[in-house]
Amino acid sequence: MAKRKKTEAAAVTPESQNVFGLRPMVVEQPVTETLEENYMPYAMSVIISRAIPEIDGFKPSHRKLLYMMYKMGLLTGGRTKSANIVGQTMRLNPHGDAAIYDTMVRLSRSHEALLTPFVDSKGNFGKVYSRDMAYAAPRYTEAKLSPICAELFRDIDKDAVDMVDNYDGTMKEPSLLPTTFPNVLVSANMGIAVGMASNICGFNLHEVCETAIALIRDPDHHIMTTLPAPDFPTGGEILVDGVEMETLYRTGRGGVRVRARWRFDEKERVIEIYEIPYSTTAEAIIDKVAELVKAGKLREISDMRDETDKNGLKLAIDVKRDTDPEKLMARLFRMTPLQDTFSCNFNILLAGTPKVCGVGEILDEWIAWRLQCVRRRVYFDLGKKKEKLHLLNGLKKILLDIDRAIAIIRQTERESDVVPNLMIGFGIDQIQAEFVAEIRLRNINREYILKRVEETEQLEKDIADLEDTVKSRRRLQNIIVEELRAVMKKYPAPRRSTISYAADEEMEPEEETVEDYPVHLFLSRGGYFKKITPLSLRMGGEQKYKEEDGPFQSFETSNSRELLIFTDRQQVYKTRAADFPDTKASQLGAYLPTVLGMDEGENVLCLVLPGDYSGELLLFFENGKCARLPMSVYATKTNRRRLTGAYSDKSPLRTVLPLTEEQPVAVYSTEGRALVFHSSLLAPKTSRSTQGVGVLTLKPKYRLDHAALLQDTPIQNLSRYRVRSLPAAGALLREEDRGEKQLSLLDETSKE
């Protein structure tokens, strides 16, 4: 025992003692317990009370600021100093005046961060598209609520939402704002919490309201028909890919590609950029362009400057003589933030729980929540009318024998006994008796009595109507629809961002001149592609193919020519012969689905040489229709790798025929029939999505098999199959018109 005490005493050194000479106490605690007790409450507070927006589209900081401005009378009154608003808001938001003013700046009209700004501002509030344009201090600026805020606070005094205590219990504030439109999708919102984040892009107010109405009327409504793409306050051009947008709308995660809008002044040789992506700034663009110019990668640019003024954003790029502005802008889009991707993460709080939702799910949740708000408002109105009816029913009993009531009051000695005596004398409750006792003597007349009786009858009708409304989901939905239509009419919101249905990705611009020489191109049925020089073809042996594969198309062309690869997923891949290495006949060649990065299960249908895009294409579909399109619909200003929505998806594509001049065409069906007609009978269309016109009349169990130019077919009895009007059924093929070789699914296109 003595030895242990001696050891313990020896362990106490001057370094281990505090100023009082006592040994410091060390308490062990598992790290999991520390996280649970200390870190988790902080994390949940950040998620629920700070960073993630709720179904009304606001974070707590937004909601507290707007509600305090509403309580200050700034919805209908004049502007007041921002410093005054900030000071008052600290009664609800204790996180400091700087954070409150930052919130006001983002919500302001002058800052241009929102499609529908909620703060009508005056003064310098900076710009969302500028990194260096600082906003003025709150003592210099003024603000009030925008008119659209009336839609945020409608019925807030009618128990539409829950009211909760503020942080010190001195006043009440709303837990949510009863917005009459889906602000959660209209207002862009970004927040970084602990372990999660939220990044919601804005959508056009008119389109969102229209979509909400359509979903109320038809829960199976296809959202993209009324809500084609997001909309950004800074404008720009949105490059829409149908598959990507569908994924974003379904899952709530994805990217929206946006690029700047520009114009070219031919006389001054200046490119003017007047709209930029929402996710970048003018300074970031200028810095990147300057870096590339110094590196010698943009020799066409002589100067770039920021000419932004009170009329809006403008970046000016001086270009050298003989510079093609289209090609220069294509390179700038690829190399600078002039084209950027807005990454979306639709993470919102639903009943206090963060959840990533698709657009449809968000609208469904908003409609359900709005139904609850409207129902609570109707209940409130119903309660008020019932209370008034209750008072009038008591008054009615009194007015039936007013002389008796007067006698009771006159015979009552003490004032405090008037109400109890009236209750006993007429069988009414205390509330009714209090109301009767307060009636002035001048109101005891016939006119007053008749008006009160009529009012009672109207109240009974109103109460019956409100009770029916509360029970009817359809009537509640009609109220929401009427309010949405009123918002659309009262607050017109033209779309700011234009929509372009463009490629998924762009080809790298070629820095060196492509060597041009004659080549032979071969495409197999399985999608293998070969590029062989004439010399190698003469010296080579038999063409090599995989088992069950074989020759499909062949061309004589040059190495610099462009190629269009049609697939069975309504897509066209644009490439060049020079992108493929020279090969030999004894090799399999390049497998196009892998080389071009096609989607899983996507197959090659055919290859077309567009030349200068001056010809036309005939697209034959399995349902017997044919679409005649100018080749120019597949020409693009930039060398895009993939074009989506290349043709109609209503029926599988069977044959693609290039057409350089009017000539006869033969069409075959699986029934063994053939039809010959002149191409001039087909009217050209301008939209790639056209379904075409009927050419071949088919019986239910048959389909169009393939088509070919008449000169490439073995048909001898031309008059048997020729028709002068479309559609037609054709005639059964004779033996001599079949030819020795069976035609493939897609006939070989004519050589260029």
Residues belonging to the active site: 140
Place of tokens 């690869």: 565
> Nearest-CA neighbor of 395 among 466, 455, 464?
455
> Nearest-CA neighbor of 40 among 194, 197, 192?
194
> Nearest-CA neighbor of 482 among 374, 395, 554, 380?
374
Residue-wise DSSP of 367-420: HHHHHHHHHHHHHHHHHHHHHHHHHHHHHHHHHHTHHHHHHHHHH-SSGGGHHH
> Nearest-CA neighbor of 497 among 230, 286, 164, 219?
230
Q: Is 466 helix (H, G, I), strand (E, B) or coil?
A: helix
Question: Buried b vs exposed e over 408-425: b needs ≥16 C-beta within 10 Å?
Answer: bbeeeeeeeebbebbbeb
Pairing mode, strands 498-500 and 237-239: parallel
The dihedral formed by the CA atoms of 182, 187, 193 and 195, expressed in degrees to the nearest 10: 70
Beta bridge partners of 522: 530, 554
Q: Is 564 helix (H, G, I), strand (E, B) or coil?
A: strand
Cα–Cα distances (Å) from 468 to 367, 471, 474, 479, 560, in that order, read 20, 5, 11, 13, 74
Token digits of residue 472: 């009817």
* CA 106 – CA 62 distance, rounded (Å): 10
Token digits of residue 2: 């003595």
> Nearest-CA neighbor of 653 among 684, 679, 627, 682?
627
Pair 233, 274: CB distance under 8 Å? no
Question: Buried b vs exposed e over 492-520: b needs ≥16 C-beta within 10 Å?
Answer: ebebbbeeebbbbebbeeeeeeeeeeebb
Beta bridge partners of 238: 258, 499
Q: Is 197 helix (H, G, I), strand (E, B) or coil?
A: strand
* CA 627 – CA 647 distance, rounded (Å): 9
Pair 230, 203: CB distance under 8 Å? yes
